[in-house]
Structure 1
Amino acid sequence: MHFDSLPYKTKQFFFVLIKLSIVIAAFYLIYQKIIHNTEFNIKQFWSFLKESHVFSLKTIIFLLLLTGFNWFFEILKWQTLVRSITSISIKKALEQSLAALTASLLTPNRIGEYGAKAIYFRAGQRKQVMLLNLLGNVSQMATTLVFGSIGLWLMYLSYDLNINTTKLSYLMIIVVSILAFVAFGLRQTKFKIKGFSLEKLKVFFLSLSLNLHVYIIVLSLIRYSIFSFQFYVLLLLFGVDFNYLEAMTIITTMYLLVSVLPSIFIFDVVVKGSVAVYLFSLAGINAFTILSIVMIMWVLNFVLPSVFGSYYVLNFNLPKTDD
């Protein structure tokens, strides 16, 4: 029996079960990652906070404000993207963004976010919504790649990365050759990204105004500046004696490396932690400090918003019709 052939009340019952399962699974995995993290000792972390008095009320408020601004610009970016096909309020954009975050916790590289946002719209608009979400993510990734590449180059100049330049040159030649063959192959085949052909993606993105593309890039830059600055603030709070340029060199490199490593979103903190520990160890920063900062960043920017997002997941109602 197909799901669409079931009575409306039966579909609603199953939908409630699905929503509860998403929220319960998300909270369980968050709990496991915080309390039973083998790489991070939560008891040692709490003892350190009590003894050092690192976080005053003003500090906590400031960090929460940065988190709020980070997500405000993400929500504004989503509202701006959707406005190209339909008008939604900032409140509705907030609901869709936070609910999609919660729903995507269990999926690799937040792939579930695409379907979670699309389900808020009529069937005829869902493909466009998924493409707009792709554009937003690509813009954020492009920002990460640009600043990360600069950071990686500065790290190469400033730290001993033990990179064999000859082998690296050979590797770059191989990578460029592979990319060239792939690009040629894509032109000869009907390759698809998230179910869309490259030609359709090209036509859709070119149909959007230049002002929209520029505005989305600007919002992505603002978001990147906010959460990277938040990481820098936490470094200062933990007594790391870095100037802004030194810190940003490593922070941007870290975000570059973790962005190209596929991971299930709930374990993103583990990936970031491992990369961050290695990079900051080159500057003589101990692992406990960096793991603590990565954990706090994860809680502030992902766990806390997903808690609010769970409310919207539970209150989402399956429409009786596409209208």
Structure 2
Amino acid sequence: MYNILNKYKRIFFLLTKLVIVVGAFYFLYIKIANNKGLPFQAFLEQLSIVGSKGIFVILILLLFTDANWLLEIFKWKKLASIENKISFFEAYQQCFASLTSSIITPNRIGEYGAKSIYFEKGKRKQIMLLNLIGNLSQLLITITFGVFGLFFLIKNYSFQYPEINVLKIVLIVGILVIAILFRKKLKLYKIGAYFKSISKKIYVEIVGLSFLRYVFFSHQFIYLLHLFSVEIDYFTALNLLFCLYFLASIIPSIAIFDWAIKGSIAVWLFSFVGVNEITILTITTIMWLLNFAIPAIIGSIFVLNFKLKKSE
């Protein structure tokens, strides 16, 4: 009986992995082939501009991507090693596989479960909390610079402010009040105690790595603006990017549609300085391909090769 159940469990697990990978490839295909804002043929024509710059330019773009992901891998290795020492390759594998697994989940929440299953059951809750620390550190950097970007935008450009959704504000405040009142039942004190048990040095290092990631992917975007001969001063471009990443981070979305949100916000922001819509959509698409699509494809290999521990 046990062997039969174990056999079906393995079949179900294999099917789950296949669904994740096939689903990931399908959504990646939809993004590239059915982008109404940037038809595929138009994208290829724009892409040829980058190709005409030479192999050295392409290598620089890839180096930006490598730096971005190397920093993320080092960050995860440092965090995960608090509970269980892992190698660089294990951190690499977990980061890319979790990216692929989280494609169809809101705000990449599937990343938490995907990373945790690489560890024994007794440590999975802690692993998810460590992943939360990593994500919050990146959000902290995004919000910090985003505030400066918003001040720059408000000071230099006039635009219609969005209407305040009172219902959403009341809902958020209500959730916070409930969390405070029922923190003991929700065992939030345990989460707080766990966070306090981590040394301040680790927090400083994680925030530092998050900052460096932010620097690299921001400047990859600026480098692409330069390649497409966009005439914009460095300070203005940087502040508009601060706004872009901040606004994109506070809008709930499914990871696969992150490109659409960033693309729409980028078009709106760079319209203030007269940048062509097609150029901005091309740049956001290239950024998406280099930093999301290609890593997700690599991650699919790790998803397919993943095996549950024998005890499970």
What's the TM-score once normalised by structure 1's chain length? Answer: 0.90
Deviation at 1:57, TM superposition (A): 0.8
Residue type of the alignment partner of 1:229: H
Match for residue 50 of structure 1 among 45, 48, 51: 48
Alignment of 1:35-46 (within 5 A): 35-46=33-44
Match of 1:39, SS state, is coil
Contact 2:232-2:273 within 8 A present in 1 as well: no
Counterpart position of 2:258: 268
The alignment partner of 2:108 has SS state of coil
Shift of 1:181: 6.3
| Amino acid corresponding to residue 32 of structure 1 in structure 2 | I
Q: Report if the CA contact (8 A) 1:82-1:129 is conserved.
A: yes
1:91-106 matches, within 5 Å, as: 91-106=89-104
What are the superposed Cα offsets for residues 203-252 of structure 1, whole Å, 9 maximum, x if unpaired? 11111000011110000000010000101001111111122211011001
Correspondence 1:54-73 to 2 at 5 A: 54-73=52-71
Query: Which letter maps to 1:23?
Result: V
- Please give the root-mean-square deviation of Cα atoms over the aligned residues, in Å: 2.5
State whether structure 2 residue 228 is matched by structure 1 residue 238: yes
Letter in structure 1 aligned against 2:202: L
Structure 1 residues 106 and 185: alpha-carbon distance in aligned structure 2, compared to 1, 3 A threshold: closer
Contact 1:79 1:90 in 2 (8 A): yes
- Find the counterpart in structure 1 of residue 80 from structure 2: 82
Structure-2 separation of matches of 1:73 and 1:148: 21
Alignment of 1:173-184 (within 5 A): 183-184=176-177
Q: Report matched runs for 1:88-237 at 5 Å.
A: 88-163=86-161, 183-190=176-183, 197-237=187-227
- Tell me, yes or no, if the aligned pair for 1:54 and 1:238 is still in contact at 8 Å: no
Asked if the contact 2:100–2:299 (Cα under 8 Å) also holds between the matched residues in 1, the reply is yes
What SS class does the counterpart of residue 108 from structure 1 fall into? coil
The number of equivalent residue pairs is 312
Unaligned segments of structure 2, at least 5 residues: none
Distance 1:191 1:38 in 2: 49
Deviation at 1:202, TM superposition (A): 1.1
Residues in 1 aligned to 2:166 and 2:293: alpha-carbon distance in whole angstroms: 41
CA distance in 2, matches of 1:123, 1:161: 51
Partners of 2:63 and 2:217 in 1: CA distance = 11
Q: Structure 2 CA distance, aligned partners of 1:266 and 1:182?
A: 27
Is residue 2:239 matched to residue 1:249?
yes
Q: Contact 1:49–1:55 at 8 Å: present in 2 too?
A: no
Q: Does 1:27 align with 2:55?
A: no
1:252 & 1:45 partners in 2: Cα distance?
A: 25
| Separation in 1, partners of 2:124, 2:293 | 27
Identity of aligned residues (%): 43
Change (3 A) 1:51 1:69: closer
Q: 1:45 to 1:270 in 2, by over 3 A?
A: same
How many angstroms does 1:15 deviate by? Answer: 1.2
Residue 8 of structure 1 is matched in structure 2 by 6
Q: Structure 2 counterpart of 1:287, which letter? A: E
**More off after superposition, 98-107 vs 37-46:** 37-46
What is the Cα deviation at residue 48 of structure 1?
Answer: 3.2
Query: What SS is found at the alignment partner of 1:296?
Result: helix
TM norm structure 2: 0.93
